[in-house]
Amino acid sequence: MSGLNAIMDNSLSALLAAQTGLATSGHNIANAHTPGFNRQDVIFGTRRPEIMAYGAIGRGVQVMGIRRIQDEFLLGNLRSQTSRLHSYAAVDTALYDIEGILGSVDNDHLGDALNNFFEAWNDLAQPPSNESLKLNVVAKAKTLVADFQAIDEALRSLESDLELRIQGETENLNRLLREIGELNRQVMAAETNGHPANDLRDQRDLKITQLSELAQISVLEREDGSKDIILAGRTMVARDRVTQFEGIYRPDGDGYTFAVVTEGNQQDVTLSPGKLEGLLAARDIHVREVREHLNSVAMQLITEVNELHTQGLTSGGRGVMFFTGDSMHTIGINEALLNNENLVAIGQTGTAADNDIALAIADLGRSSLHGPDRKSVSESYRSAITDVAGRSSSYQFMVENQLSLVASLSARMASVSGVSLDEEGANLVRYQNSYNAAAKVIATVQEMYDTLLNIV
């Protein structure tokens, strides 16, 4: 009887092992499309054999554990490259928006307005001069001022939009840090029996991957199963203790920046590549630099035109300032000119043949008033457009390359950790056959029991 009991026990262990395998494959199939889910596999091992006088008799199979199939090195590399992708993409999007505001190298409103303004002065310089040509100069100046102010407003609006996106992503970052800390607590509680909490670990790794989109991070796993998150050189999550980022708005022009407050001390933070760093770079470097460049173009236009125009002479006396202001935002036309176009100066003497002021202002589109070493107003503007186009092309190339790299790493991760429905279907058949075979052994043993009982 003891021999039949051993066979029955072996078969029962096979049934339980097959059931575990079927349950695990079913779990994999159910979560085939669950974000962040890693394929699970049952680890089987033989039971310790029973030693008899004639040798060792096997005592069946046991389930040693259920493991997540994951490559930590590959996952870390994927997160790092994903951080760079989102950094490049944030800047690329901002540059695309800037190009939409300014136009292309071959088709831009402000460039046309500048050319039309200088062309109007050139027309005014050609004899015979008449009042309609002075009106045309003022009209083209109005269009130019309107374009400068529209671009300034659009760039300020883009900067404000980036500011709001930075604030929103900061809130997302803090939320993810809190959720990772809470999942650390749940993992530590669930693994007190020594078995890994696979599904909780999947949820936590998904949050960590989402966090890596916002900023590049380092992850350290402790012996208790928790994971520390290191960001910008600081440990932001240690077990279930979480340090939050604080957004600091600086009214002195630095805009929205980041700080970490620990034990009452506030320390500024420089973020590593990720969406937040990309948004900050888009705001602080690209949008602001373009606006500053165009402000310098407006200032050069205002200064050089005024310098020449005040040297002129009209029926009303010495030439007045043509433009007011000192930037795109403040540029305007002298109210006196708007009220009386006759104050537009053509020459220095006021005679009909004198057109040197008009010619000199028209020439500002080709050369600077302050010598050949300086760019003309049109050249300064053209360099701004060309610079934006160059940056946009460069970042578009980087985004495309990074997309290809991330896609390749994602495919490799899917091949390692992803669920293959074909493979799981084959596993179901394999476990079903094992279960049926074990059940047949049990049925055979039952018949042997009946035979013995009938003999007795």
Domain segments of the chain as ranges: 2-69+419-455, 75-102+161-285, 113-154+294-387
pTM score of the predicted model: 0.84
Task: Give the residue-averaged pLDDT of 8-12.
Answer: 90
* 3-class SS of residue 18: helix
Cis peptide before 372 (omega within 30 of 0): no
- pLDDT value for 1: 44
What phi, psi does 222 have (nearest 5°)? Answer: -90, 165
Greater confidence (436 vs 193) lies with: 436
Greater confidence (449 vs 179) lies with: 179
* 3-class SS of residue 65: strand
CA angle at 128 for the pair 127 and 131, rounded to the nearest 5°: 120
Q: Over 90: is that where the pLDDT of 250 sits?
A: no
Closest by alpha carbon to 420, among 16, 8, 31? Answer: 31
Task: Give the residue-averaged pLDDT of 242-259.
Answer: 66
- pLDDT value for 149: 94
Q: Over 60: is that where the pLDDT of 23 sits?
A: yes
CA-to-CA dists, residue 71 to 4, 80, 107, angstroms = 44, 14, 50
Predicted confidence band at 106 (pLDDT cuts at 50, 70, 90)?
low
Task: Give the residue-averaged pLDDT of 62-67.
Answer: 93
Q: Which residue in this structure is represented by tokens 């939050």?
A: 244
Give the tens place of pLDDT for each residue, 338-368.
999 889 989 888 776 788 999 999 998 888 7
The helix (H) or strand (E) run that includes residue 235 is: strand 234-238
Average pLDDT value over all residues in the chain: 89
Q: Which residue in this structure is represented by tokens 């202001």?
A: 325
Task: Give the residue-averaged pLDDT of 372-385.
Answer: 84
- For residue 433, count other CB atoms closer than 10 A to its CB: 11
Q: If 0-12 CB within 10 Å is exposed, 13-18 middle and 19+ buried, where does residue 405 land?
A: middle
Token representation of residue 452: 């013995």
- pLDDT value for 119: 94
- pLDDT value for 296: 93
- pLDDT value for 248: 62
Q: Give the C-alpha separation, 308 to 302, whole Å.
A: 10
Q: Give the C-alpha separation, 225 to 165, whole Å.
A: 34
Q: Over 70: is that where the pLDDT of 104 sits?
A: no
Q: Give the C-alpha separation, 333 to 302, whole Å.
A: 10
Out of 93-102, 122-131, 220-229, pick the least confident.
Answer: 122-131
Q: Give the C-alpha separation, 399 to 401, whole Å.
A: 5
Q: Over 90: is that where the pLDDT of 431 sits?
A: yes
Predicted confidence band at 245 (pLDDT cuts at 50, 70, 90)?
confident
Closest by alpha carbon to 245, among 253, 47, 237? Answer: 237
Q: Over 80: is that where the pLDDT of 388 sits?
A: yes
Task: Give the residue-averaged pLDDT of 398-404.
Answer: 96
40-54, 90-104, 206-220, range with greatest mean pLDDT:
206-220
- pLDDT value for 135: 93
Residue type for 197, please? A
